[in-house]
Each structure stands twice: as C-alpha cells, then as structure tokens.
Amino acid sequence: MKATRKPMPIMAHMIPFFPDLPRSHRVARALIDGGARYLEIQFPYSDPTADGPDIQGAGAQALARGFTVRAGWDFIASLREGDGSPEQTPLFVMGYAGLVFAHGIDRFVARAAELGVEGVIVPDLPLDSDEGLLEAGARHGVNIVPVIALGAAPHRVALVHEARTRYIYASLRRGITGSHTDIGEENIAFMEELGSRGARVLAGFGVATAEQVRAVTGHAHAAVVGSAFVRALRALEQEADNAKADPADHDPDPYGRVRALVERLTGLEARNGPD
Amino acid sequence: MKSKNETGPLPGYFGEFGGRYVAEVLRGPLEELDAALGLLDRDMEFWKLLGRIREEYIGRPTPLLFAENSTRALGGARLFIKLEGLANTGAHKVNNAIGQALLAQRMGKSRIIAETGAGQHGLATAAICAKLGLECTIYMGEVDIARQRPNVFMMELFGARVVPVTSGSRTLKDAVNEALRDWAASSADTHYIIGSALGPSPYPEMVHRFQSVVGKETESQLHDRGLEPHVLVACVGGGSNAIGFFSPWLERDVPRLVGVEAGGRGVGRGDHAARMNGLGVPGIVQGYKSLFLLDGDGQVQETHSVSAGLDYPGIGPQLAALGTAGRVEFARATDRQALEAVSFFARHEGVVFALESAHGGYQAMELARTLSPDQVVVVNMSGRGDKDLFITARELTPGPWRRFLLDEAAAIPAPAEAEE
C-alpha cells in the first residue's frame, strides 16, 4: 500500500498505554506502517515539567491505565518483534530525569541497549549535569540525544556541539505552551547551526502540518511531531464517546486515523500531486 | 555563571543534593537570575529598601516570646517561641516573596508568577505585588483551591489572578509544574517566585538568603537576653522557615537543630509527607536532586498532611544534605499531635500556631519535657493559625462549627437571587 515516493522524514511521538495498552500498540503499528522514519516513545512521568498540556494529559492517562517502566520496555520489545519491515524503524525512548534516575541511569540505558533502542532522550539531564548519562550511552552503545532549545545561549549550543553526539534534539520554540510554531529565519538558522558539524538534527515542538514538516526537513534531519498525534487520538476518543449508544461498546481502533495522519504529514497522501 | 555557594563541592550543590536539572527552555531564565543575584551584594539601595519594607510593612523584628506558662506546665527546659507568624500576611513566606519581588523589579520584570499550596505563599506574593504594583498570577491546584477558599479570596482581594491547576494530583507540586511552564514562555517580562528553599539552583540558596533574617533576629534576641539556645525546632515542608531559622548556626556544632516533618496518619505510603529518616529516596524532581517520596516505579508519590503547607513530596536540598550529614536532626509529628500542639499553645500562651508550625510546636513540647530547666528550647512559629480556622474548628469542635457553617450558608442568598 505504500507509495513509491519517499516520505518526508518525521519522528513520530507516542506514549505507551495512551489511550490504553492495546490501542497504543495499534498506534505504534500505524506510525510505522504510515512511514514514520523514527518513533519517539515517551515514558510518562508524574511531573513532566517540559510537556505541553496535550502530552501531559496523555501521560497522566497512560499512568492511570497502568504504565510502568517495565511495561514500557515490554512494549518496545513487542514492537521490535512485530516490526516486519526490512529496515526496522529506529526507536528513541524519551523520559524525564526523575524516572530515569530512580531506575538507575546505567540500568535504564543498558535495558534500552538490550532492546536495540537507537537513542535515549532525557530533556532535564543537561550535558553539564547529566549524572553519567552520556557515558552510559557510550558504554552500552546507545545514542544519547541532547536537547537544545531555540534562544539557548551560545555556550549552551557549544556544549552540545562538543558532545559530538550522532543526534541533536532541537526545540523550535522558546516556551512549552502555545500552539503553532513558525518556521522562520531564526529557526532555520538555529537548525542549520546545530547540523553544521554533522549531527542529525531532530527538530520539533508545535510541528503539526505537512507544510511545517516540509519547512523543517529542508533544514533538519527529521521533524518531530508530538502533540498532533495526541490530539488526533483525543478527538477520536471524543467522537467515539459521543457516538456510543451503550457505554459497553468497543472503543474504536485508532489505526486508520493515525496512519492517515502520518501519511498526510509525510507527504505520502498527496501522491497524485505534482513532482 | 553559576551562583556562589560555599557549602557544596559544586556550584548550586549542597553535598550531593541540589543542582539545576532543567530542560533547556528554563536554562536562560535561571542564568539571568544568577546574574541578577550576583549584583545584589554590592547593591546597597536594594538592602536599604528591603530593610525599610521589613520594618514598615512586614513588622520586623517579629517577637521572641518566653513561653512561661508552657515552660511551667511541661516541667523541663525553658521554652521560647519565635512569633514569626506575626509577620504581615501571617507567615514567614512574606520574607522571601518581598526579597524576590524587589529583585524582579531590579531585573525589569513587570509580572510575577507563583505557585501555592495552602495559599500562604500565594497570599504573601499577591500582597507584595499589590504593594509594589506588579501584575500577579498564582497557580494553585484545584484540590487546594477547594479546601483553601479563604486564601483564594484574599489573593483575589489583592488583585491577583488565581489559576486553577487541573493536572496530576491537582495540588502543590502540580502548581509548581504549571508555574514552570508559564515561566518557560514568559520569562522576558516575568519572574517566578518559588515559595520554598527548593527547585533548581539558584532558588534554594536565594530563598535561604531571604529567610535568614528569621535566624539572625532570633540570634540577636537571644543574645540580648543573655541566653544560649540548646535546641532549635522548626517544621519542614520544603524547609524555607527551617533553613532561615537555623541559618546562623549551620556552620557550628551547637545548638541541636531539629526539623519536624509531617507524620500525617502514619508511615504507610501516601499517609504522610516525611522524607527523612529513611522514608524518602534520592531523586531528581522539579529541577533539583534531593530526597523524595517516590512509588516503587519512580513516580512521585501522593502525600498527606493535615497542613497543606507540609503536604509536598520533596525536601529542600540543603536540608536533605544537612540531615544526611547529621547536622540537622529530623522528627515527625502526626496530624493529631499537631492539633494537640495548637490547643496547648492557645490555652497556655494565647498564641495560635499554624498547623504547619504546630508540628514543630509538638516536638518542642516533647523536648521541653525531657530537657533540664537550665536549657533553652526555641521553636519557630513560622505561621499563625487564623488561616486554619476551617480545619481546626472542624477537627476540634465539629458540631457547633457545622451548625455555624450551615447557618452562614443559609444566610447567603444564591447569587442569581441576589442580583434580582
């Protein structure tokens, strides 16, 4: 069913156990089948200080539905087993310092390595006080992905360059809340600067349309799309709730909706269009 | 560009605790704060202005009361009470709120945000914003808003906007998260006043500095009376009143310094808010490393205390380090014991402790009983108990209080009718 055209590279964000465990498996499947270049799998945390309201709400729901770190690893393991594509979709695990530290940084990274995870992202363990995260990554052969935000001081950007990581995660917005991110001159210069020494720049925050993906991927390795998927899943839940005659009716399979969204975002859907 | 701190091996650390574990979006505002704090030492105007406000507005120095009747009733050491709760707005919180608000003005910020649990820090912040003409937004958990309606009313009376926080457990820690989120986007014109000696560096050291006025005053008040303290006692939620009160003695071997945590209903998970003495584990939460109450999977645990001001899962990093090193001892008082102390001091001294401070009060009673008459125990009544009326009256005299509330409610016409 895949178009022969090359999809624009996105890193699609998802949370295991959101909306619940079985449906989050379907979401992951749809993201992979729909052509997401990478998956960012966020382990939800009780106090997610850098999440916007959509992702925070989804994380809280996932915790209420039974997410544990062990279940998160099981989710990744089953994703690996179920991925029949010739080139397995690389998986990144994102988690907050509180959760990673509580489980032991070395143990956390080691477990990621065992499961073939491509990278670990911990936004609140900055490189100059990372509790040994970067070293653990080197020890176990997992990429540690530093996060840097638009407007960061030059000495912070330099710190990221000096770490010589394979990937850099760039937040294209100064704040956390808000809705739309303009990909203007400032953002473009930021992405170009981050990629100037050869690192693969994963750039996002507020990227939710194919136009934005196109604009970002012109200057970065891949565009990160996060809350757009959460919002789509929320909308689906809402519609289902409204349509339910009987509360015992089955919740809908999110596969179709999510896959359509990925295809739209990566430009696959417009396969009859020009070029 | 990190802030100065002599007690830790690394800037911003106290032993192994403290630090600045924040996403990059918050790095800029914290570095800006470092720079502003760095200028304070030479800013004589700032300290002069702060001194004047302390005297004219807060009502400093707050008294040190010899609790003569209590001393006699307890039959042991001489007991003194630092009446910090007599500070305008009812608690020590105002010392920090004013310091930071003045600093914010120095930094050219026109808007202040703050989190609040019980409402004391929010109230102090709202009051000082009214005084200084700053725009003020207070984040408060939905659950706390429901149980602290009087303080919400006061904050709004001061002109603050009180924003209900509906995420997570909808209490203090969630209000902190929401304030951090606001600040990440708004720091160009906004300063975030954290209410306790915790959070990412430089907050713990800054809050300590602004609260140290409590300890300095106590030291000179004791000195004036020719007294040497043997034990100092303070309640510990985040720990800002304790660290400020203990401040002059931290580098010395004496007196004994005792922090009292919320023992709640017992030591079961979710029944208390005590992090020391083995109940908490090392963690990184809300930007700092310290001891926290976490569940088996590393998620932050829900806590309980009759006093909303102690109902928080983490302890300030400097106190965690001092406790680990043995300089500060930690004890617990339960909900019941705190209420018992409220009654005791009301009856014997005509002084009403805030429920938070009453945890320290209870421990001070215990110490005064067991120590000898030539020894001196000083407890910090960090807040006064007027704000707790709706909790203490319900607990101590449920029947009459219920009748009163019903009558009051009946006497208020429903808003729609009132407009007609």
For residue range B24-57, list pLDDT tens digits in order. 989 999 999 999 999 999 999 999 999 999 999 9
| Residues in chain A closer than 8 A to B23 (CB atoms) | 49-50, 123-124, 147, 149, 171
Between CA B334 and CA B340 the distance in angstroms is 10
Between CA B108 and CA B113 the distance in angstroms is 15
| Residues in chain A closer than 8 A to B168 (CB atoms) | 46-47, 60
Phi, psi of B45 (to 5 degrees): -60, -45
Tell whether A179 lies on the interface with B, counting CB pairs under 8 A: no
| Residues in chain A closer than 8 A to B184 (CB atoms) | 50, 174-177
Instruction: With H, G, I as helix, E, B as strand and everything else as coil, classify residue B334.
Output: strand
**CATH class for the domain made up of B59-90+205-393:** alpha beta
Least confident interval from A107-111, B162-166, B204-208, B309-313: B309-313
| Residues in chain A closer than 8 A to B2 (CB atoms) | none
Contact A174 B184 (CB under 8 A): yes
Secondary structure tally for chain B: helices H, strands E: 16, 14
Mean model confidence pLDDT for chain B: 94
Q: What does the pLDDT read at residue B200?
A: 97
Contact A101 B298 (CB under 8 A): yes
Q: How far is A1 from chain B (nearest CA, A)?
A: 40
Cβ B134 vs Cβ B112: under 8 Å: yes
Residue count of chain B: 420
Contact A98 B186 (CB under 8 A): no
Q: What does the pLDDT read at residue A86?
A: 58
Between CA A169 and CA A156 the distance in angstroms is 13
Cβ A254 vs Cβ A236: under 8 Å: yes
Give the other-Cβ count within 10 Å of B411's Cβ: 7
State the sign of the Cα–Cα–Cα–Cα dihedral B343, B349, B351, B353.
Answer: negative
Q: What does the pLDDT read at residue A173?
A: 82
Between CA B199 and CA B405 the distance in angstroms is 39
Tell whether A163 lies on the interface with B, counting CB pairs under 8 A: no
Classify the phi-psi angles of B18: left when phi > 0, otherwise alpha if psi is within -120 to 50, otherwise beta: left
**Tokens matching residue B386:** 């007027």
| Residues in chain A closer than 8 A to B297 (CB atoms) | 68-70, 102
Show me where the domains of chain B are located.
13-55+93-202, 59-90+205-393
Cβ A253 vs Cβ A239: under 8 Å: no
Please give the DSSP secondary-structure letter assigned to residue B154. Answer: H
- CA nearest A130 in B: which residue? B21
**Tokens matching residue B146:** 């429901």
Contact A152 B28 (CB under 8 A): yes
Alpha carbons within 13 angstroms on the beta-carbon side of residue A162 total 9
Q: Which residues of B touch A (CB under 8 A)?
A: 19-28, 31, 167-168, 173-174, 177, 180-182, 184-186, 281-287, 289, 294, 297-300
Between CA B243 and CA B168 the distance in angstroms is 29
Q: What does the pLDDT read at residue A248?
A: 63
Tell whether A149 lies on the interface with B, counting CB pairs under 8 A: yes
- Residue B264 β-bridge partners: B334
Tell whether A183 lies on the interface with B, counting CB pairs under 8 A: no
Contact B25 A149 (CB under 8 A): yes
Treating both helix axes as pointing N-terminal to C-terminal, what angle do B203-224 and B317-325 enclose, rounded to 10 degrees?
60
Q: What does the pLDDT read at residue A275?
A: 42
Cβ A42 vs Cβ A94: under 8 Å: yes
Q: What is the bridge-based pairing of β-strands A143-144 and A147-149?
A: unpaired
Q: What does the pLDDT read at residue B14?
A: 97
| Residues in chain B closer than 8 A to A178 (CB atoms) | 185
State the average pLDDT over residues B149-154.
92
Exposure string of A33-57, with b = 16+ CB inside 10 Å and e = fewer, is bbbbbbbbbbbbbbbbbbbbbbbbb
Contact A149 B185 (CB under 8 A): no
Between CA B149 and CA B164 the distance in angstroms is 12
Q: What is the bridge-based pairing of β-strands B13-14 and A222-225?
A: unpaired
Q: What does the pLDDT read at residue A179?
A: 57
What does the angle CA B284 – CA B288 – CA B289 come to, to the nearest 5 degrees?
50
pLDDT bin (cut points 50, 70, 90) of residue A219 is very high
Q: How far is A265 from chain B (nearest CA, A)?
A: 26
Among B168, B181, B284, select the one facing A98 at the smallest CB separation: B284
Chains A and B form CB pairs within 8 A to the count of 112
For residue A2, pLDDT beyond 60: no
Between CA B308 and CA B177 the distance in angstroms is 17
Please give the DSSP secondary-structure letter assigned to residue B270. Answer: T
Q: What is the bridge-based pairing of β-strands B78-82 and B64-66?
A: antiparallel
pLDDT in tens, B261-293: 999 999 999 999 999 999 999 999 999 999 999
Q: What does the pLDDT read at residue B3?
A: 43
pLDDT in tens, A10-32: 999 999 999 999 999 999 999 99
Distance from the first to the final alpha carbon of chain A: 19
Q: What does the pLDDT read at residue A52?
A: 84
pLDDT bin (cut points 50, 70, 90) of residue A83 is low
Per residue, the 3-state secondary structure of A48-97, as one string, reads CCCCCHHHHHHHHHHHHCCCCHHHHHHHHHHHHHHCCCCCCCCEEEECCH
Least confident interval from A37-41, A47-51, A120-124, B293-297: A47-51
Cβ B283 vs Cβ B272: under 8 Å: no
pLDDT in tens, B329-375: 999 999 999 999 999 999 999 999 999 999 999 999 999 999 999 99
Which of B82, B93, B109, B173 does the annotation list as catalytic?
B93
* Contact residues for B200 (Cβ-Cβ < 8 A; gap 6+): B12, B19, B20, B21, B22, B26, B30, B286, B287, B288
Between CA B335 and CA B356 the distance in angstroms is 10
pLDDT bin (cut points 50, 70, 90) of residue A273 is very low
Mutant choice from A43, A47, A111 vs B, greatest count of B C-beta within 10 A: A47
Among A50, A57, A103, select the one facing B23 at the smallest CB separation: A50
Q: How far is A61 from chain B (nearest CA, A)?
A: 10
Tell whether A55 lies on the interface with B, counting CB pairs under 8 A: no
Active site residue B302: no
Give the other-Cβ count within 10 Å of A23's Cβ: 21
Among B21, B24, B294, select the one facing A129 at the smallest CB separation: B21
Q: How far is A89 from chain B (nearest CA, A)?
A: 27
Secondary structure tally for chain A: helices H, strands E: 11, 9
Contact A49 B19 (CB under 8 A): no
Among A45, A50, A102, select the one facing B25 at the smallest CB separation: A50
Mutant choice from B1, B24, B32, B33 vs A, greatest count of A C-beta within 10 A: B24
pLDDT bin (cut points 50, 70, 90) of residue A249 is low
Tell whether A238 lies on the interface with B, counting CB pairs under 8 A: no
pLDDT in tens, B175-230: 998 999 899 889 999 999 999 999 999 999 999 999 999 999 999 999 999 999 99
Contact B294 A56 (CB under 8 A): no
Between CA A195 and CA A167 the distance in angstroms is 9
Residues A10-242+255-265: name the CATH superfamily.
Aldolase class I (3.20.20.70)
Instruction: With H, G, I as helix, E, B as strand and everything else as coil, classify residue A120.
Output: strand
Phi, psi of B151 (to 5 degrees): -70, -30
Phi, psi of B267 (to 5 degrees): -95, 5
State the average pLDDT over residues B154-183.
92
Q: What does the pLDDT read at residue A84?
A: 63
Contact A125 B23 (CB under 8 A): no
Q: How far is A143 from chain B (nearest CA, A)?
A: 18
Confirm whether B13-55+93-202 and B59-90+205-393 share one CATH topology.
yes
- CA nearest B183 in A: which residue? A175
State the average pLDDT over residues B124-142.
97
Phi, psi of B111 (to 5 degrees): -130, 140
Q: What does the pLDDT read at residue B8?
A: 41
Q: What does the pLDDT read at residue B168?
A: 80
Phi, psi of B234 (to 5 degrees): -150, 150
For residue B325, pLDDT beyond 70: yes
Q: What does the pLDDT read at residue A176?
A: 67
pLDDT in tens, A118-177: 999 999 999 999 999 999 999 999 999 999 999 899 999 999 999 999 999 999 987 765
| Residues in chain B closer than 8 A to A48 (CB atoms) | 177
Active site residue A246: no
Q: What does the pLDDT read at residue A268?
A: 82
Q: So what's the ipTM on this one?
A: 0.92
Q: How far is B286 from chain A (nearest CA, A)?
A: 7
CATH of the structural domain B13-55+93-202, one choice from 3.40.1360.10, 2.40.110.10, 3.20.20.100, 3.40.50.1100:
3.40.50.1100
State the average pLDDT over residues A88-113.
97
Q: What does the pLDDT read at residue B83?
A: 98
Tell whether A177 lies on the interface with B, counting CB pairs under 8 A: yes
- CA nearest B16 in A: which residue? A131
